[in-house]
Amino acid sequence: MATAPRTTLTFLGAAGTVTGSKYLLTVGDRRILVDSGLFQGEKKWRLKNWEPFPVEPGSLSDVLLTHAHLDHVGYLPVLTRTGFTGPIWCTEGTRQLAEIVLRDAAKLQEQEAEDANERGYSKHHPAQPLYTTADVEAMLGQFVALEYDADFELTGNERPGFGADPDERITIRLTRAGHILGSASINVWTPTASVLFSGDLGRREHPVLKPREIPAEGAPFVLVESTYGDRDHPVPVNLPHEGFADVIRRTIARGGTVLVPAFAIDRTEVVLKTISELERDQRIPDVPVYVNSPMGTRALRVYQTLTDELRDDLRPDEFVAIPDLTAVESTEDSIRLTEPGGHGPAVIISSSGMATGGRVLRHLEELLPDPKNAVVLTGYQGIGTRGRHLSDGAGQIKIRGTYVPVRAEVFHDREFSVHADRTDIMSWLAALDPRPTQVFCIHGEPDSAAALAARIKADLGVQAIAPRLGEVVLLDATEIPAHAGVRAVMTPPVARAPRQEVRGWFAYAPLTGPLPDGRPSYRLLTGAPGDEFDHLVSAAMGEGYGPSGPPVLVATSNGILAAQAVTWQAPWPEAPGGIG
């Protein structure tokens, strides 16, 4: 009788640090990567992005994604450029947001390399981006969206030209994690093991999204984030975000500008909602608000369109209930925002959230030297980032090769974090059934991960470890989980086409002209936002069409109109009666 293939797990990122999430799951000879994030923060970590990937990218059968933040998806274009051609499984929300994040990341890297070459502040000659916009566009067809709370069997043969052993198939299930739109925890069952990846967990209540859910099944092995594993979030003493409101009131009164570095994904949406509520409750004056983040604007449209992800008590138009709100698109308008005489007192929201790059850098250069201005940091600031230096009280920070004095007021509003804190994490773990036998505390600074591991041992009586980068562990269980190979599973979307034709899904290029059977290869679906429009899009996808770019909301004389472009993405159908 053949022996079942062994299952191992290798920690390739987010071990000993918060960023660079990558976990290599090996089932026999099959290799699956869970998350593919960029290292950020301290230089010693950023340099790892340039190191060769530990295994041949072409040997990976699949990538599973928990959510669309850069430290979980930002390495994907490197993987695909160097040989990975398989499917990237995720939720629809993650798919849409990841496209936005990756396009923006490539553009920023190209701009930064160009700037470094012009100003001569890089030791590399010439400076090069880690990947380009062309690299990103070439891999977007590899995303495949899956539903929450459904089991999908992945045979390994979904990848073009890749043959997997039948004994190496896996089953996965995605559960809502409540961190950002589309975020998920992922159960993985192999023939010999069961493991649960928490992804980034949200708090028990999210200001915009539906709350996180507990996976229907626990696992013997659990990987859990530990970003805030050593502390709880502060509870407002008086009104929520009163510190933020106070900074706005005082800065506007002295004629200054409030700069809010904010992640384009989720944080910008939450900050806008907070400002809207502060103005509604007359806790701050009605003040001009500029969203200077094209990525943030595009992400906001996704949030407003995928309404099934939002809280039941929240309407999409409540994001933008700000009388004087302006989205800044062009680079020229962005520069003018903080030029002398550009505008009066205002609030500027700009990415990135840790001030590691993006348009916020120019604003910091202009605003930090003047004490009438203020910078409000929102949420976690990684070690080694400019945001962390500002939060720690630095008197100067280095931007594009030059030190900038910090004279502006700096305030860190920690109420904005949508990461689970220590109590949130412990309650999530305690609710898992069955309870894990071993927990790996990942995605945290060393002290935070170690503190969480100690708390898990003390409170839950479960073995907990803060793994080392590169560490390999065996996940084989003495008893195969009841789920594995027993319950009915769904076929993933990519498998709807005949196997020999699946490669067309991944080598996708937009088609033009009608299909042989007379249907258009391109359609623009429109309708009022809501269930009927969602069903219209779902029906088109069921026929073989796929989204071409994110959905948009358009203001018309008759109200708000939702629009989604779709193109034919399934194999080319035969004309009636066959071809040739």
Mean pLDDT value across residues 534-552: 67
465, amino acid identity: I
Mean pLDDT across the chain, nearest whole number? 85
Task: Report whether pLDDT(523) > 80.
Answer: no
Nearest to 208 by CA among 130, 291, 120, 313: 313
The CA distance from 417 to 407, in Å, is 26
pLDDT in tens, 396-416: 999 988 999 999 999 999 888
Pairing of strands 346-350, 257-261: parallel
pLDDT at 192 over 90: yes
pLDDT at 182: 97
Measure the CA–CA gap between 403 and 396, rounded to whole angstroms: 6
pLDDT of residue 125: 78
- The Cα–Cα gap between 94 and 97 comes to 5
Q: CA–CA separation, 387 vs 352, rounded Å?
A: 9
Q: Which residues, including other chains, have CB under 8 Å from residue 316's CB and lie 6 or more apart?
A: 303, 304, 305, 307, 310, 529, 553
Residue 40 has pLDDT above 80, yes or no: yes
pLDDT at 295 over 70: yes
Walk me through the domains of the chain, giving residue ranges and CATH numbers.
7-231+418-474 (3.60.15.10), 242-416 (3.40.50.10890), 509-580 (no CATH)
Determine the Cα–Cα distance for residues 528 and 563; give it in Å rounded to an integer. Answer: 9
Residue with the larger pLDDT of the pair 311 and 499: 311
DSSP letter string, 149-190: T-EEEE-STTSTT----GGG-EEEEEEE--SSTT-EEEEEE-
Mean pLDDT of 343-368: 90
For residue 525, give the 3-state DSSP assignment.
strand
Tokens of 253: 């009164």
Residues 6+ apart with CB under 8 A from 320: 272, 276, 300
User: 561 - beta bridge partners?
Assistant: 554
Task: State the DSSP H helix or E strand holding residue 79, giving kind and residue range, or none if neither.
Answer: helix 76-81
Reported as a pLDDT band with limits 50, 70 and 90, residue 417 is: confident
Instruction: Band the pLDDT of 577: cuts 50, 70, 90.
Output: very low
What are the helix (H) ranges across 392-516? Answer: 422-430, 446-460, 503-506
Instruction: Write down the pLDDT at residue 503.
Output: 25
Model confidence band, residue 384 (pLDDT cutoffs 50, 70, 90): confident
Average pLDDT over residues 24-30: 95
Per-residue exposure over 485-518, b if at least 16 CB sit within 10 Å of its own CB, e if not: eeeebeebbbbebeeeebbbbbebeeeeeebeee
Mean pLDDT of 221-240: 92
Q: What is the pLDDT of residue 570?
A: 53
Q: What is the pTM of this model?
A: 0.79
pLDDT (0 to 100) of residue 507 = 27
- Which pLDDT value is given to residue 344? 84
d(CA 57, CA 82): 6
d(CA 91, CA 102): 16
pLDDT bracket for residue 576 (50, 70, 90): very low
Q: What is the pLDDT of residue 479?
A: 60
* Other Cβ atoms closer than 10 A to 8: 17
pLDDT: is 201 or 381 the higher one? 201
Residue 460: Cβ within 10 Å count: 16
Nearest one of 262, 266, 304 to 530, comparing CA atoms: 304
Residue closest to 400 by CA, chosen among 359, 350, 339: 359
Percent of the chain beyond pLDDT 90? Answer: 58
- DSSP of 240-284, one letter per residue? TTHHHHHHHHHHHHTT-EEEEE--TTTHHHHHHHHHHHHHHTTSS
